[in-house]
Amino acid sequence: MNGYTAHPIPPTVLEELRTTDDAGRAPAPATDDEGGAPLRCCLRRSRAGERIALVSYAPLRRWAARTGADPGAYDEQGPVFIHAEECAGAETDRLPFTNSHRTLRRYSADGHILGGRLIGDPGAFDHALREALDDPAVAFVHVRAVEYGCFLYEVGRG
Protein backbone atom coordinates (compact mmCIF):
# COMPACT_ATOMS: atom_id res chain seq x y z
CA MET A 1 0.00 0.00 0.00
CA ASN A 2 1.81 3.09 -1.23
CA GLY A 3 2.29 6.03 1.09
CA TYR A 4 1.55 4.14 4.31
CA THR A 5 3.99 2.59 6.73
CA ALA A 6 3.39 -0.07 9.37
CA HIS A 7 5.40 0.79 12.47
CA PRO A 8 6.63 -2.05 14.68
CA ILE A 9 7.38 -1.28 18.31
CA PRO A 10 10.59 0.80 18.22
CA PRO A 11 13.85 -0.94 19.25
CA THR A 12 14.43 1.39 22.22
CA VAL A 13 10.95 0.58 23.56
CA LEU A 14 11.50 -3.14 22.98
CA GLU A 15 14.68 -2.96 25.02
CA GLU A 16 12.67 -1.50 27.92
CA LEU A 17 9.81 -4.00 27.53
CA ARG A 18 12.27 -6.91 27.66
CA THR A 19 13.24 -5.71 31.14
CA THR A 20 9.97 -4.33 32.54
CA ASP A 21 6.72 -4.06 30.60
CA ASP A 22 4.22 -1.20 30.73
CA ALA A 23 2.35 -2.90 33.57
CA GLY A 24 5.55 -2.95 35.66
CA ARG A 25 6.12 -6.70 35.26
CA ALA A 26 9.25 -8.56 34.28
CA PRO A 27 8.65 -10.62 31.12
CA ALA A 28 8.67 -14.41 31.26
CA PRO A 29 10.31 -15.52 27.99
CA ALA A 30 9.41 -18.95 26.67
CA THR A 31 10.18 -21.10 23.67
CA ASP A 32 7.33 -21.02 21.18
CA ASP A 33 6.90 -24.70 20.36
CA GLU A 34 4.23 -24.20 17.70
CA GLY A 35 4.96 -20.81 16.12
CA GLY A 36 2.33 -18.44 14.77
CA ALA A 37 2.31 -15.69 17.42
CA PRO A 38 2.04 -12.19 15.85
CA LEU A 39 5.31 -10.51 16.81
CA ARG A 40 5.11 -6.73 17.21
CA CYS A 41 8.89 -6.27 17.06
CA CYS A 42 9.36 -7.51 13.50
CA LEU A 43 5.76 -7.69 12.24
CA ARG A 44 5.74 -11.35 11.34
CA ARG A 45 4.51 -14.55 12.91
CA SER A 46 6.84 -16.44 15.22
CA ARG A 47 8.49 -19.61 14.05
CA ALA A 48 8.52 -22.83 16.05
CA GLY A 49 11.47 -22.87 18.43
CA GLU A 50 11.87 -19.08 18.75
CA ARG A 51 12.07 -17.48 22.19
CA ILE A 52 9.26 -14.98 22.66
CA ALA A 53 7.65 -13.06 25.50
CA LEU A 54 4.13 -11.82 26.09
CA VAL A 55 4.38 -8.33 27.57
CA SER A 56 2.02 -5.48 28.38
CA TYR A 57 2.36 -2.50 26.04
CA ALA A 58 0.74 0.97 26.15
CA PRO A 59 1.15 2.41 22.63
CA LEU A 60 -0.78 5.65 23.21
CA ARG A 61 0.94 6.34 26.51
CA ARG A 62 4.34 6.01 24.89
CA TRP A 63 3.27 8.08 21.88
CA ALA A 64 1.91 10.80 24.19
CA ALA A 65 5.18 10.89 26.13
CA ARG A 66 7.05 11.56 22.87
CA THR A 67 4.61 14.16 21.51
CA GLY A 68 3.32 15.89 24.63
CA ALA A 69 -0.27 14.88 23.81
CA ASP A 70 -2.75 13.76 26.45
CA PRO A 71 -4.84 10.79 25.32
CA GLY A 72 -6.78 10.89 28.61
CA ALA A 73 -9.07 7.93 29.02
CA TYR A 74 -7.92 6.47 25.69
CA ASP A 75 -4.62 5.50 27.29
CA GLU A 76 -4.70 1.73 27.59
CA GLN A 77 -2.29 -1.15 27.74
CA GLY A 78 -2.57 -4.69 26.54
CA PRO A 79 -0.69 -7.85 25.69
CA VAL A 80 1.73 -8.11 22.75
CA PHE A 81 4.17 -10.80 21.67
CA ILE A 82 7.79 -9.81 21.08
CA HIS A 83 11.03 -11.69 20.57
CA ALA A 84 12.66 -12.37 23.93
CA GLU A 85 15.96 -11.07 22.57
CA GLU A 86 16.81 -8.36 20.05
CA CYS A 87 15.73 -9.15 16.51
CA ALA A 88 16.37 -7.64 13.08
CA GLY A 89 13.10 -5.68 13.03
CA ALA A 90 10.50 -5.60 10.27
CA GLU A 91 11.36 -7.91 7.39
CA THR A 92 9.08 -6.30 4.82
CA ASP A 93 7.39 -3.02 4.05
CA ARG A 94 4.08 -4.79 3.38
CA LEU A 95 1.31 -4.35 5.91
CA PRO A 96 1.23 -7.56 7.97
CA PHE A 97 -1.55 -9.54 9.62
CA THR A 98 -4.25 -8.35 7.19
CA ASN A 99 -5.66 -11.80 6.41
CA SER A 100 -8.15 -11.92 9.26
CA HIS A 101 -10.81 -9.81 10.95
CA ARG A 102 -9.28 -6.54 12.13
CA THR A 103 -10.32 -3.29 13.73
CA LEU A 104 -8.88 0.01 12.55
CA ARG A 105 -8.90 2.73 15.20
CA ARG A 106 -8.35 6.26 13.95
CA TYR A 107 -6.65 8.77 16.27
CA SER A 108 -6.27 12.54 16.15
CA ALA A 109 -3.02 14.39 16.80
CA ASP A 110 -4.05 14.83 20.45
CA GLY A 111 -4.51 11.07 20.89
CA HIS A 112 -8.30 10.92 20.91
CA ILE A 113 -10.21 8.27 19.01
CA LEU A 114 -11.91 9.63 15.91
CA GLY A 115 -13.64 6.38 15.12
CA GLY A 116 -13.10 2.75 14.41
CA ARG A 117 -13.98 0.29 11.74
CA LEU A 118 -14.41 -3.45 11.86
CA ILE A 119 -12.89 -5.18 8.84
CA GLY A 120 -14.72 -8.48 8.40
CA ASP A 121 -13.47 -9.12 4.88
CA PRO A 122 -9.66 -9.16 4.64
CA GLY A 123 -10.02 -7.93 1.06
CA ALA A 124 -11.48 -4.66 2.40
CA PHE A 125 -8.46 -3.84 4.60
CA ASP A 126 -6.54 -1.67 2.10
CA HIS A 127 -9.61 0.37 1.17
CA ALA A 128 -10.58 0.96 4.81
CA LEU A 129 -7.05 2.00 5.74
CA ARG A 130 -6.79 4.35 2.75
CA GLU A 131 -10.16 5.86 3.66
CA ALA A 132 -9.02 6.43 7.27
CA LEU A 133 -5.72 8.05 6.35
CA ASP A 134 -7.29 10.18 3.62
CA ASP A 135 -9.04 12.07 6.43
CA PRO A 136 -6.74 14.99 7.35
CA ALA A 137 -7.96 14.89 10.97
CA VAL A 138 -6.49 11.38 11.35
CA ALA A 139 -2.88 11.45 12.56
CA PHE A 140 -2.40 7.67 12.71
CA VAL A 141 -4.30 4.39 12.79
CA HIS A 142 -3.94 1.46 15.16
CA VAL A 143 -4.56 -1.97 13.68
CA ARG A 144 -5.97 -4.38 16.24
CA ALA A 145 -6.95 -8.03 16.36
CA VAL A 146 -10.68 -8.59 16.73
CA GLU A 147 -10.41 -11.85 18.66
CA TYR A 148 -8.58 -10.35 21.65
CA GLY A 149 -8.55 -6.62 20.90
CA CYS A 150 -4.75 -6.62 20.95
CA PHE A 151 -2.71 -3.87 19.36
CA LEU A 152 -0.92 -5.18 16.27
CA TYR A 153 0.80 -2.08 14.87
CA GLU A 154 0.46 1.59 14.07
CA VAL A 155 0.10 2.88 10.51
CA GLY A 156 1.10 6.36 9.49
CA ARG A 157 1.51 8.28 6.27
CA GLY A 158 4.80 7.92 4.44
User: What pLDDT, on a 0 to 100 scale, did the predictor assign at position 126?
Assistant: 92
pLDDT in tens, 132-153: 999 999 999 999 999 888 999 9
What residue ranges do the domains of the chain occupy?
10-83, 102-157
Across 94-121, average pLDDT: 92
Indicate whether 25 pLDDT > 70.
yes
Indicate whether 107 pLDDT > 90.
yes
Indicate whether 1 pLDDT > 60.
no
In the chain, the DSSP E strands lie at: 4-7, 30-31, 38-39, 44-45, 51-57, 78-83, 102-107, 113-119, 140-145, 151-157
